Each structure stands twice: as C-alpha cells, then as structure tokens.
Amino acid sequence: MRWFYLIFDLVTSLALIIYLGFLIFDMLDFIIKKIPPLPTFSSVIPPLLKAMEDKEKKVFIDLGCGTGRVLLAVKKRYPETQVIGYEIWPSQFLRAKIKFFIRGLKADIFRKDLFKADLKEADIIFCFLLTSFMKKLEGKFQQELKSGAWVVSNTFQFPTWKPVKIIPTGKKQSGTLYIYQKE
C-alpha cells in the first residue's frame, strides 16, 4: 500500500509541476507577445457562419486559433471544410487539440507562429489579433493568398486594404467582422 501512495504522490507532483510550467510559460509568452488569449464572442460566430454560406470554403484557417472556438463552430456547421489552426500559446493549443479530440472531429492544429503559416490553399482566413499584427500580415496575405480568398478579421482592420463587406454583429467592442477579398 505504501508503494501505491508513493507512486500516487509522484504522479500528482509531476502533473502539478508540468501544469505550473505551462502556466509560467504562458504568462511569459503573454508578457512578451502582449496579445490576450481572448476568444471571439459566441454572438459573433453565427454571423460569421452565415457570411460563409455562399463562399467556397474547402480550407478555413484561423491564425491564432486560441482554444479553437471558431474552428469548432466552422467544423460543426460545415463538416466538409478542412479546418486549420495556428496557435503559439501552449495551453491554448492543447485545449484546442483536446476539444477536437473529445468530440472526435478532425482539425489540423499547429503550435506554430502564425507568420510562418502556409496560406496558399486557404479559401477563408479568420483572425482576431491586434492592429500591429494586421500591419505585418497585410503584406503576407497580398503575397501568398490565392485570388478570391477571403480574410475575415474580427475587430481589427488592415492599414490600406479595404474590406468588401463589414458585418456589425451587435457587440460594441470586439465584434465587427471585416471581410477582405484577394483580387
């Protein structure tokens, strides 16, 4: 019986150490990258799914997918769509993976810097980032996206690229969807 308690102690201590490690790493990441892991509000998702109805959507990418809330909603509504997420924050990445795993749904979620994402197959890119990111991403999108591809940005706009559609979702803050189309 003593062995049992010893092993139990070891396993729980190890789990705690790993968890604390993640927490510290996450906090450091947040301090360095200064982008909060705030998910898209649930009320913003139905207008997003509606806007996607008539758009080709074989490949949907969420850049900075967080816990996978948007990816999951897209996969549930459009099961044929391949959903891809890039997330740098370990705990967010793991939560997204677990979310899909327990539902038995398929998603390609990478723990990778979104600036290194492969975008050439994307039909729709979703992002909920910050103005500073939009500045950097505009060039990447112009270079890498195929013609006709959409970028849907929650709240933040590009410095020069003009949206083809603006969807107010009723949320005063962190709610408006800006849709851009690559020429």
Ligand X SMILES: C[S@@+](CC[C@H](N)C(=O)[O-])C[C@H]1O[C@@H](n2cnc3c(N)ncnc32)[C@H](O)[C@@H]1O
Check: CB of residue 151 under 8 Å from CB of residue 127: yes
| Per-residue interface string for the shown chain with ligand X, residues 110-129, x marking contact by CB under 6 A | ---xxx------------xx
Figure out which of the listed residues 61, 65, 119, 124 binds ligand X, where binding follows CB under 6 A: 65
Alpha-carbon span 114 to 137, nearest angstrom:
9
Residues in the chain: 183
Q: What's the min distance (Å) between Cβ of 159 and ligand X?
A: 18
Backbone angles phi, psi at 26, to 5 degrees: -60, -45
Cα distances (angstroms) measured from residue 21 to each of 25, 29, 135: 6, 12, 32
CA dihedral 135, 147, 58, 88 (to 10 degrees): -20
Minimum Å gap between C-beta 152 and ligand X is: 10
**How many residues sit close enough to ligand X to count as binding (CB under 6 A)?**
24
Stretch that binds ligand X, among 32-40, 47-55, 99-107, 160-168 (CB under 6 A): 32-40
Q: Which of residues 89 and 100 has its CB atom nearest to ligand X in the complex? A: 89
Residue 117 has which token pair? 């994402």
Query: Smallest distance from the beta carbon of 98 to ligand X, in angstroms?
Result: 15
Instruction: List the one residue from 22, 35, 49, 167 that touches ligand X (CB under 6 A).
Output: 35
CB of 11 to ligand X, least distance (A): 29
- When asked if residue 32 is in the footprint of ligand X (CB under 6 A), the reply is no
Least Å distance, CB 37 to ligand X, is 4
Interaction between residue 75 and ligand X (CB under 6 A):
no
> Which stretch in 12-20, 57-65, 97-105, 164-172 sits in contact with ligand X by CB under 6 A?
57-65
Asked if residues 67 and 95 have their Cβ atoms less than 8 Å apart, the reply is yes
| CA 124 – CA 149 distance, rounded (Å) | 6
What the block records as the tokens of 47 is 């207008």
On whether the CB atoms of residues 155 and 174 are closer than 8 A, the answer is yes
Name the site residues for ligand X (rule: CB under 6 A).
Answer: 33, 35-40, 62, 64-66, 69-70, 86-89, 92, 113-115, 128-129, 154
